[in-house]
Chain A
Amino acid sequence: AQKVTQAQTEISVVEKEDVTLDCVYETRDTTYYLFWYKQPPSGELVFLIRRNSFDEQNEISGRYSWNFQKSTSSFNFTITASHVVDSAVYFCALSEPSNDYKLSFGAGTTVTVRA
């Protein structure tokens, strides 16, 4: 069974628009970690954020913000006022003790920001 679901395969926006990427996860562990990574065309996965399950405070970092909703098992990611350089594939991932903390990745969402 898929532990992390990213329902949006592709999103295309015009520069300066906001983009929200959905991530829904599934776990029976009470303690777990959620991650977002960015994969630009160069191929490297760039770490963006890690969220602990016991910390439900939402986070903002510049134009990036994350909305963690434990009640709906979601960890959504918003890019505000998108730039062309935000074009990439974004992956959500789950790390659980019951899975020996291995990362379970979603299928990714491809974001294209047009000038």
Chain B
Amino acid sequence: EAGVAQSPRYKIIEKRQSVAFWCNPISGHATLYWYQQILGQGPKLLIQFQNNGVVDDSQLPKDRFSAERLKGVDSTLKIQPAKLEDSAVYLCASSLFREGLKNIQYFGAGTRLSVL
């Protein structure tokens, strides 16, 4: 079974530029998550989708970050304009369900963003 796919693996941009990350979850997984992981810290949830609807985006800086999950499969996360403090690894994860015994989240390899 294929895992969670993310691209690109690395991205270097200058501040005030825009950037987009792509995620393809495990086939059949209804729930998709985007996390931000700053160096030396655990992942922090940015947004959670159930199929193509947003379940939780309370931690998403909506003035610059946006995300969508069209058709309930692939997802894109965009930052516009980027700030220096956005330098981090952006991880995508998916799970069969949000709760219960099928709530194990499986992660992709992440996109390492450097904002100069």
The minimal Cβ–Cβ distance linking B111 to chain A, given in whole angstroms, is 9
Are the CB atoms of A97 and B99 closer together than 8 Å? Answer: yes
Are the CB atoms of B99 and A44 closer together than 8 Å? Answer: no
Are the CB atoms of A43 and B109 closer together than 8 Å? Answer: yes
Range, interface on chain A: 20 to 34
Report which of A47, A91, A97, A100 forms a contact with B104, defined as CB distance below 8 A: A47
Are the CB atoms of B112 and A43 closer together than 8 Å? Answer: yes
Q: Which 9 A-B pairs have the closest CB atoms?
A: A105-B42, A45-B107, A44-B109, A101-B99, A43-B110, A101-B98, A43-B109, A105-B43, A91-B42
Which residues in B have some Cβ–Cβ distance to A below 8 Å? 40-45, 48, 55-56, 89, 91, 93, 98-99, 101, 103-110, 112
B residues near A108, Cβ cutoff 8 Å: 40-42
Task: Kindly state the separation between the CA atoms of A43 and B108 in the bound complex, as whole angstroms.
Answer: 8
Are the CB atoms of A107 and B103 closer together than 8 Å? Answer: no
Sampled A-B contacts (19; CB under 8 Å): A4-B42, A35-B104, A43-B110, A44-B110, A45-B43, A47-B105, A50-B104, A52-B101, A100-B55, A101-B98, A101-B99, A101-B103, A103-B43, A103-B105, A105-B42, A105-B44, A106-B42, A107-B40, A108-B42
The minimal Cβ–Cβ distance linking B26 to chain A, given in whole angstroms, is 12
**In the complex, which of the residues A44, A47, A93, A108 has the most CB atoms of chain B within 10 Å of its own CB atom?**
A44
Which residues in A have some Cβ–Cβ distance to B below 8 Å? 4, 33, 35, 37, 42-47, 50, 52, 91, 93, 95, 97, 100-103, 105-108
The minimal Cβ–Cβ distance linking A3 to chain B, given in whole angstroms, is 11
B residues near A101, Cβ cutoff 8 Å: 98-99, 103
B residues near A97, Cβ cutoff 8 Å: 99
Are the CB atoms of A42 and B103 closer together than 8 Å? Answer: no
Are the CB atoms of A42 and B99 closer together than 8 Å? Answer: no
The minimal Cβ–Cβ distance linking A99 to chain B, given in whole angstroms, is 10
Are the CB atoms of A100 and B103 closer together than 8 Å? Answer: no
Are the CB atoms of B48 and A102 closer together than 8 Å? Answer: yes
Are the CB atoms of B109 and A103 closer together than 8 Å? Answer: no
